[in-house]
A and B are shown apart, each in its own frame.
Chain A
Amino acid sequence: MLPTLIRRELLDNLMTFRFAAALFIMLLLVVANTAVLIKDYERRLADYNTAVKKHQQKLQERDIYSPGFAGVVLVRPPNPLSIFNVGLDKRLGSEIGIRPSGAPTLWEARMHGSANPLLNLLSSIALGFIFEVVLSLMALIFAYDALAGERERGTLRLVLTNAISRGHILLAKYISAMTCLLVPLIISLLFALILLTNSAAISLSADDFLRIGGIVLASIAYLSVFYLIGFLISAITHRTSTALMLAMFVWGFLVLVYPNMILATIKTSDVPQERAVSALNQMKQIWEQFDRERNRFLAADAFPGEDQLFNIKEPWGFGYDEYYENALTLFAEYDRQLNFQGIDEKYQPNVPHLQNYHRFLIPLTIRTADRVWLIRKEALVDTLVRQANFKRTLLKLSPAGIYDAATQAWTGTDLSGIRDFFDAARQYRKTVMTWFDDKDAFAAREWFLSDKREADWSTLPLFSFERRSVEINAKRALPDVLLLLMTSLVLFMGIFLLFVRSEV
């Protein structure tokens, strides 16, 4: 009996104007936007390549080792799947320098140059957003008259006079409508994939296809939730016009209004004060200890006086040693920058002392920075990250928010995905520091002074960033997808209970 019912419903749905309209609009929007998004991605890739080249060139030209305004700079590549959901990929910093005095985090990252930053004014719409808006609307349009319409026309009574269980009727309606809704989704996605694979700039790996599969899964779950919301409305109302009105307002509220309103009403305090202050104090204490240790060293060494620059005055270049703090991003570092092209002859005897000092100081800086990072990491998670995640959780009260989070997790443009890059950057910092250490670069003259010998960067290990494997994406995305499926299930049960008890 069930197959017959499904076939009836399917034919009913497929032959409608709304199905044709849904297919047409999805194709139009997805194809047009994919072309735009590919172009946008190519632009960003070009910007990325320019930045990488610039930094490589600058590094080769750099004749001292110590990192300052220039040095080893890592650039975050654009994510090709950002076409599906751009997430934070475009918005967060995309280049970060490697320093001994601190672990790189996204809060210190800068944005590499782009030809026209004003273009960000014109928001581009990712494919996930099209699905989010259009599919949910389509689902409601397919659902609002599913029961109310039959009740109005009286066909519901006719159907129920046969020996058919009510559950089967619901299931048949659900399955057939979902099939109909999937057709535009799948076809438009196929077109998008054809465009994507034809683009020279984008090369999708097998993992990427799995991720896209994950996005499809999330889309189906999302579709199902909205269909069932419409279905529920249809079950509780007696007239289609009421059902339609209610459905439209529910849609407007969940997709358009709620996400924007909830974030605006929730007050954003900058960093919970106490936690941040205590962490900053802890970090400051560690740096003070560092300062005491180095002063002890300076007092004990052979050179008279405790001057950080060993009395070298007016070098051709610059040198300073200062403590910086930023309470907003919990940043605390001793920044020591020396970059001398040459110094006066009479200071030459001081140079070996300075070298000797660096042999002690830089490893100490690195160790201290590592300890500071342990504190900062915790504090950042407790303050900034938790606050942001709380907002994301609030967004998840709307299915649109859950869907958005799920697709971001699949594409790897969510906060965790971006933080992966900075994890890799921190790993690479260790590599670079070990490389310095192996070369004995800290104690070298060319750590800060380039008059006799110049730094040799040729053997520096290269940095490459690989996105985390698809399992990690799945681990991050599946809770949200499951949440959508659970919501579907609950909605379906609710509809079933209502429908079984309802009088015709």
Chain B
Amino acid sequence: MVWHIAKRELYEHLNSLRFGLTTLLLLALMLTNAVVYLREHPKRVQKYHDAVTNARNALTAQADNLYVLAQKGPGAFYKKPSPLQFCAEGGEAFIPDVVNTNSWQWRTDALKSFWRLSYPSITPNLGNIRPDVTKVDWGFIVGYVLSLIALLFTFDAIAGERESGTLRLMLANAVPRHAVLLGKFLGAFLSILIPFSIAVLMNLLVLSTSRSVHLTAGEWERLGIIFLIALLYTSIFLALGLLVSARVQRSAVSLVILLLAWVTFVVFMPSTLASIAGGFSAPMSTAELRERRSQLREALEEPFEERYGRRFLSEKQTEVSPKMQAQGDYVMKDAQQQERLNQERLTEQIAQVQGARNVTRISPVAIVQHLIEAFAGTGFERHLQFLENVHAHARQFREFVIEEDRRDSESLHVIGVPTGMSQKRVEPGAIPRFEDTLSLRRDFNTAAMELLVLVLFFIVLMSGAYLAFVRVEIG
């Protein structure tokens, strides 16, 4: 029975103006997406490879001397661009794709500061004077366009039939109401599924004809998941449309309510809520950072100068003296403290964004965009993953330096002081290589919660629609 109604609905939709317009719109958007991606992605990959090669070469050049290597550090870390960037652009313009390491000379003296991780805070491409617009990625197409289309397919599903009187006719037959509702849902779902699938297939077809894009099995898996998420999200809006349509007497009123709800929840809610929530916590300001940086340095400098005077040792030492040990501690502690400070600030910043993002979960569009980002391997979650990789590698690199130094029998093993450390050549191939990776399992853990919320949305709205429809009087 359900299938019968669904088929009737489907045929009706297939002949309608909205079906044709939907197909056209989705096709145009998806093709644009593919064309733009094919144009931009090779450049992105090239840029990444160039940067990584340069960083590696710089590192190899330092391998002649373990001390220099230990002092200058592993160089810059670059974030690997995701091949699925066409699914979610992920605020690429606002998230840095690099973590730097820096160090500097203190006085014109024998001792140099050791490297620490620093997180660039620039907004890239300040010279871009072109008008800015949302990127046409799958997230946009699904989040904004598909949800609007879903509402346009259901706003008159029940109210319209009531107006034209056919609802009464239909219910005069021995059809259970839930079957009618389910049939209507399925009919609308299928008539969106068809143009959306065609558009997605065209998009992927264009992408796979290009030589520059190779998607692995894992990536196809991710694409499949994203496709399913898009369908779940569409179902939410279909259910919302049915709910309002069942409650309201006239289809025009139903549409007004739905459109306003759409504008509020989809267009405005995410950014407004996020801005409000972003105001709750205030991370360390730049002035404060500078202040604390110099405080830390002074706190370190004073006791050292009191005991050992202003000058560091520069001449070659044959055995470990307390002063040398103190110098090594000084250098390492400085690097450690400053890095911790940088990280503290970063953590505060991330917490602020994280808090704001949690609040926006009230809006399904925010959830679906987070989810698509998570599975496409772009955006904020991905950035956190990248940072984690960087931190792990930084630890590994420090351990590597200590290990190498320990192997040199001539070294005094005072890390941080040029004369106290091995100055031997390091095999360039032995230096740990930074590998930025993406793992689906981790993605799924963060995403599971959000998926559940989406399912919850759907269940609540669908049962709301059922209850509303069961109670409807047909006068």
Report which A residues bind B (CB closer than 8 A). 17-18, 21-22, 25, 28-29, 32-33, 35-37, 39-40, 47, 50, 54, 88, 91-93, 106-107, 109-111, 113-125, 130, 133-134, 137, 141, 145, 240-242, 244-246, 248-249, 252-253, 256-257, 259-261, 263-265, 267-268, 316, 328-329, 384-385, 387-388, 391-392, 395, 415
Q: A238 to chain B: closest CB distance in Å?
A: 13
Q: B274 to chain A: which residues have CB within 8 Å?
A: 122
Whether the Cβ atoms of B94 and A121 lie closer than 8 Å is: yes
* Assembly CA distance A261 to B350 (angstroms): 32
Q: A21 to chain B: which residues have CB within 8 Å?
A: 256-257, 260
Given contacts A114-B286, A245-B21, A260-B140, contact A119 B126 (CB under 8 A): no
Contact of A329 among B36, B127, B256, B275 (CB under 8 A): B127
Whether the Cβ atoms of B264 and A119 lie closer than 8 Å is: no
Given contacts A32-B272, A115-B284, A125-B271, contact A260 B129 (CB under 8 A): no
Whether the Cβ atoms of A117 and B94 lie closer than 8 Å is: yes
Q: B177 to chain A: closest CB distance in Å?
A: 24
Query: With contacts A36-B272, A264-B136 known, what are 10 further pairs, Cβ within 8 A?
Result: A40-B275, A88-B129, A118-B380, A121-B353, A122-B278, A125-B272, A137-B259, A257-B25, A261-B29, A316-B108
* Assembly CA distance A291 to B352 (angstroms): 52
Whether the Cβ atoms of B132 and A115 lie closer than 8 Å is: no
* Assembly CA distance A125 to B29 (angstroms): 24
Q: B278 to chain A: which residues have CB within 8 Å?
A: 116, 119, 122
Closest to B152 in A: A248
Asked whether B118 is an interface residue with its Cβ less than 8 Å from the other chain, the reply is no
Q: B33 to chain A: which residues have CB within 8 Å?
A: 264
Whether the Cβ atoms of A118 and B94 lie closer than 8 Å is: yes
Whether the Cβ atoms of B263 and A384 lie closer than 8 Å is: no
Whether the Cβ atoms of A384 and B129 lie closer than 8 Å is: yes
- Interface residues of B, count at CB 8 A: 71
Q: A34 to chain B: closest CB distance in Å?
A: 10
Given contacts A261-B32, A265-B32, contact A395 B126 (CB under 8 A): no
Contact residues, B220-276 vs A (CB, 8 A): 251-253, 255-257, 259-260, 263-264, 267-268, 271-272, 274-276
Whether the Cβ atoms of B131 and A392 lie closer than 8 Å is: yes
Q: A47 to chain B: which residues have CB within 8 Å?
A: 285
Given contacts A117-B94, A264-B136, A387-B130, contact A111 B123 (CB under 8 A): yes
Ordered by A's residue number, 5 sampled pairs between the chains whose C-beta atoms are within 8 Å are: A21-B257, A33-B272, A106-B127, A137-B259, A257-B28
* Assembly CA distance A109 to B122 (angstroms): 12
Whether the Cβ atoms of B121 and A117 lie closer than 8 Å is: yes
Q: B35 to chain A: which residues have CB within 8 Å?
A: 265
Closest to A262 in B: B133
Q: B295 to chain A: closest CB distance in Å?
A: 17
Q: A447 to chain B: closest CB distance in Å?
A: 22
Whether the Cβ atoms of A130 and B286 lie closer than 8 Å is: no
Q: B287 to chain A: which residues have CB within 8 Å?
A: 50, 54
Whether the Cβ atoms of B271 and A123 lie closer than 8 Å is: yes
Contact residues, B88-136 vs A (CB, 8 A): 91, 94-95, 108, 121-123, 126-136
* Assembly CA distance A271 to B256 (angstroms): 46
Given contacts A115-B286, A261-B32, contact A240 B132 (CB under 8 A): no
Contact of A264 among B135, B253, B263 (CB under 8 A): B135
Q: B243 to chain A: closest CB distance in Å?
A: 17
* Assembly CA distance A244 to B259 (angstroms): 12
Complex interface bits, B5-32 against A, C-beta within 8 A gives 1, otherwise 0: 0000000000011100100010011001
Given contacts A28-B264, A117-B123, A248-B152, contact A261 B272 (CB under 8 A): no
Contact residues, B338-370 vs A (CB, 8 A): 348-350, 352-353, 356-357, 360
Closest to B286 in A: A113
Whether the Cβ atoms of A256 and B353 lie closer than 8 Å is: no
A-B contact count, CB below 8 Å? Answer: 194
Contact residues, B373-431 vs A (CB, 8 A): 380
Q: A398 to chain B: closest CB distance in Å?
A: 11
Whether the Cβ atoms of B272 and A244 lie closer than 8 Å is: no
Q: A379 to chain B: closest CB distance in Å?
A: 14
* Assembly CA distance A113 to B123 (angstroms): 10
* Assembly CA distance A126 to B14 (angstroms): 39
* Assembly CA distance A32 to B253 (angstroms): 25
Closest to B22 in A: A249
Whether the Cβ atoms of B272 and A120 lie closer than 8 Å is: no
* Assembly CA distance A122 to B94 (angstroms): 10
Whether the Cβ atoms of A111 and B126 lie closer than 8 Å is: yes
Whether the Cβ atoms of A391 and B131 lie closer than 8 Å is: yes
Whether the Cβ atoms of A25 and B264 lie closer than 8 Å is: yes
Q: A256 to chain B: which residues have CB within 8 Å?
A: 144-145, 148
* Assembly CA distance A369 to B98 (angstroms): 34
Contact of B268 among A18, A125, A257, A384 (CB under 8 A): A125
* Assembly CA distance A125 to B274 (angstroms): 11
Contact of B135 among A110, A124, A260 (CB under 8 A): A260
Closest to A108 in B: B127
* Assembly CA distance A217 to B25 (angstroms): 32
* Assembly CA distance A40 to B356 (angstroms): 14
Report which B residues bind A (CB closer than 8 A). 16-18, 21, 25, 28-29, 32-33, 35-36, 39, 91, 94-95, 108, 121-123, 126-136, 140, 144-145, 148, 152, 156, 160, 251-253, 255-257, 259-260, 263-264, 267-268, 271-272, 274-276, 278-279, 282-287, 348-350, 352-353, 356-357, 360, 380
Given contacts A115-B283, A117-B123, contact A145 B252 (CB under 8 A): yes
* Assembly CA distance A152 to B387 (angstroms): 62
Contact of B253 among A17, A114, A249 (CB under 8 A): A17
Contact of A111 among B122, B135, B251, B285 (CB under 8 A): B122
Q: A32 to chain B: which residues have CB within 8 Å?
A: 272, 276
* Assembly CA distance A141 to B278 (angstroms): 34
Contact of B123 among A91, A246, A392 (CB under 8 A): A91
Q: B16 to chain A: which residues have CB within 8 Å?
A: 245
Closest to B357 in A: A122
Contact of B267 among A39, A119, A133 (CB under 8 A): A133
Q: A261 to chain B: which residues have CB within 8 Å?
A: 28-29, 32, 136
Whether the Cβ atoms of B160 and A241 lie closer than 8 Å is: yes
Q: B18 to chain A: which residues have CB within 8 Å?
A: 245, 249
A-B complex: 10 closest residue pairs judged by Cβ atoms = A113-B286, A122-B274, A93-B126, A36-B275, A120-B94, A107-B127, A116-B349, A249-B21, A117-B121, A388-B129
* Assembly CA distance A274 to B36 (angstroms): 25
Given contacts A36-B275, A388-B130, contact A249 B256 (CB under 8 A): no
* Assembly CA distance A385 to B260 (angstroms): 38
Whether the Cβ atoms of A121 and B121 lie closer than 8 Å is: no
Contact of B126 among A110, A123, A241, A415 (CB under 8 A): A110
Q: B28 to chain A: closest CB distance in Å?
A: 7
Most buried by A among B257, B283, B286: B286
Closest to B260 in A: A25
Q: B285 to chain A: which residues have CB within 8 Å?
A: 47, 50, 113, 115
Q: A114 to chain B: which residues have CB within 8 Å?
A: 121, 286
Contact of A17 among B17, B122, B256 (CB under 8 A): B256
Q: A243 to chain B: closest CB distance in Å?
A: 10
* Assembly CA distance A136 to B144 (angstroms): 17
Q: A115 to chain B: which residues have CB within 8 Å?
A: 282-286, 349
Q: B132 to chain A: which residues have CB within 8 Å?
A: 91
Q: A35 to chain B: which residues have CB within 8 Å?
A: 276
Q: A399 to chain B: closest CB distance in Å?
A: 15
Q: B162 to chain A: closest CB distance in Å?
A: 14
Whether the Cβ atoms of B25 and A36 lie closer than 8 Å is: no
* Assembly CA distance A494 to B136 (angstroms): 33
